[in-house]
Chains A and B, each alone.
Chain A
Amino acid sequence: MWLKAAWALLRKDALIELRRRESLFSMAAFGVLSLLIYNFALPLDGDSAKEMAPGLLWVTVTFTAVLSLGKAFAGEKQNDAVDALVASPAPLPAIFLGKLAANLLFIGIIEILLIPLFLAFFPVATGFSWGWLALTLGLGTFGMATLGTLFSAMTVTLRSRELIFPLLLLPLMVPIIIAASHALSALIEQDMGAVSTWVQLLGIADTIFFVASLWVFEFLVED
């Protein structure tokens, strides 16, 4: 029941995106543009690139994700579809799960697009393990998407939604940005001890945010 409902919601959101092609294209364009602008604005050669690349990648991913995360529930506002969702027999945490899965899918697609470009633009050593790269990116993205989905549900009914959403998300995901970007820079420097410290912190943060979100989500959609 749970998984079925979440899967139905994910499928619906993916289908809408597939037909409208709205979020993904603007996200991709924004992400690529940011990468280009960093290259124009910052002295990115040799060592400085190596030091700045992880942070810049996470800034790009975060700001690109904010574009789509904030809209996760906006589509459900039309014709009061949120009420129908909440009234449906699907358990509320399953609705959260479905929305989270859709967000993860969109951000994941953008990351898969941005990473090769990023490695092409920034002269960073590529001797690191791709499995660890996927793990740090995945854990960081999961935490960001969890908080993003929660605050998207919170802000969908508010005035100046576009303004308050990043204001809510960014300060609360400060630890995720710190841990994810430093995990990445430790990975580039092949300092596996530091990588595992940051990965553990990301895992703990993700678990706390995920469990808490599943619990409090119902209070955001109950009316």
Chain B
Amino acid sequence: MSALPLRAGPWEKGMGILALVMLAAGSFWGLALAPHDAYQGSVSRILYVHVPSAWITFLAFFVIFVASIQFLRTRNLKYDTVAHAAALSGIVFNGLCLATGSIWGKFAWGTWWTWDARLTTVAVLFLIYAVYLILRSLIDDETRRARFAAVLGIIGFLDVPIIHFSVYWWRTLHQPASLLRPDSPRMAPEIMYPLLFMTVAFIVLFVHLVIAGRRMYEAERSLEIRRQEQVYEV
């Protein structure tokens, strides 16, 4: 009988602490030290959360893709737990990206929602994450669940650039000049460095969450195995 993975390993702990420190430092840098935007004032500081969460939204899709291919090649369920944990964290960052984008949009563009190209892409990705998690919840057999989820993870990732271009052309072919864009063409280094720092902090947090999520699923699995062993003993 394998031991239940109840305690966090050194990597999970280390990444968690590093994420906390970096997020605190990055927030201070972005909120207090960095200059605010000439037009939008301090509202634009939401950028330091919005942009990194958008990056993680895409990064998690990539992680799911690689883990899915690895699972189909090796049939090692360890990769499936990576994909599952990445999806669960990914949808949280995706939701955060949508929420901060919406709040920012209300201040910068005067509306909670607009069919901006990137906003729409991220919204479609949110739906795909949701469907991925729903599909997983519908399948009891763990190897079949892993296989089907891997197929969806691969097709979903291949869909990302297609979604991006279709949505982008949809918005630009029809109304070119009126496009509302949150970013300025050139970003001042005083804004870019804290942004990059926060992006790294978010990546560290994401890695921590994936390791923690994996441990959670491993624990669930060992519990399930124990329960079945007990049923046989009785």
Contact B166 A201 (CB under 8 A): yes
Q: B-side binding surface: helix, strand, loop or mixed?
A: helix
Residues 187-222 (chain A) with a chain B CB within 8 angstroms: 194, 197-198, 201, 204-205, 208-209, 212-213, 216, 219-220, 222
Q: With A154-B152, A164-B135, A219-B151 in contact, is A208–B162 under 8 Å at CB? A: yes
Residue in contact with A175 in the complex, picked from B134, B138, B139, B167, CB distance below 8 Å: B167
Complex Cα spacing A201 to B139, Å: 34
Contact B127 A171 (CB under 8 A): yes
Q: Which of B104-112, B142-150, B187-195 makes up part of the contact surface?
A: B142-150
Residue of B nearest to A179 (CB): B166
- Residue among A168, A198, A201, A212 with max Cβ neighbours from chain B (10 Å): A168
Interface assignment of A182: CB less than 8 Å from any CB of chain B: yes
Residues of A within 8 A of B151 (CB): 150, 154, 216, 219-220
B147 touches A219 (CB 8 A): yes
Q: Are B155 and A198 in contact (CB under 8 A)?
A: no
A194 touches B131 (CB 8 A): no
Q: How many Å from the CB of A220 to the closest CB on chain B?
A: 6
Does B170 sit within 8 A of A, measured CB to CB?
yes
Contacts of A222 in B (CB 8 A): 147
Which residues of chain A come closer than 8 Å to B154, judged between CB atoms? 212, 216
CB neighbours (8 Å) of B165 from chain A are 175, 201
Can you add 7 more A-B contacts, CB < 8 Å, to A182-B170, A216-B151, A219-B148?
A: A174-B163, A178-B167, A179-B166, A201-B169, A213-B155, A216-B155, A219-B72
Q: Mark B100-134, 1 if CB is under 8 A from A, else 0.
A: 00000000000000000000000010011001001
Q: Does A223 reach chain B (CB closer than 8 Å)?
A: yes
Render A125-165 as a binary contact track against B, CB cut-off 8 A, 1 for contact. 00000000000000000000001001000100111100010
Of the A-B pairs whose beta carbons lie under 8 Å apart in the complex, a sample of 27, sorted by A's number, is A150-B151, A150-B155, A154-B148, A154-B151, A158-B139, A159-B138, A167-B134, A168-B131, A171-B127, A171-B131, A172-B128, A174-B167, A175-B159, A175-B166, A175-B167, A178-B167, A182-B173, A201-B162, A201-B165, A204-B162, A212-B154, A212-B155, A212-B158, A216-B154, A216-B155, A219-B148, A220-B147
Determine the chain A residues whose CB is within 8 A of the CB of B90 once the complex forms. Answer: none
Interface residue B156 (Cβ < 8 Å from any Cβ of A): yes
Chain B residues near A (Cβ < 8 Å): 72, 124, 127-128, 131, 134-135, 138-139, 144, 147-148, 150-152, 154-156, 158-159, 162-163, 165-167, 169-170, 173
Q: How far is the CB of B147 from chain A (nearest CB, A)?
A: 5
CB distance from A219 to the nearest CB of B (A): 5
A171 to B134, CA, bound (A): 13
**For the complex, what is the distance from the CA of A179 to the CA of B173, rounded to whole Å?**
12
Report chain B residues within 8 Å CB of A160. Answer: 138
A residues within 8 A CB of B152?
154, 168
Q: How far is the CA of A79 from the CA of B148 in the complex (A)?
A: 23
C-alpha gap A150/B156 in the complex (Å): 13
Q: Which of A86-138 contact B (CB under 8 A)?
A: none
- A157 contacts across to B, CB distance below 8 A: 144
Which of A154, A157, A198 gathers the greatest number of chain B CB atoms within 10 Å? A154
Please tell me if the beta carbons of B173 and A223 are within 8 angstroms of each other in the complex: no
Smallest CB–CB gap between A25 and chain B, Å? 30
- Nearest A residue to B139 via CB reads A158
A188 to chain B, nearest CB (A): 14
Instruction: Output the residue of A174, A204, A222, A223 with the most chain B CB within 10 A.
Output: A174
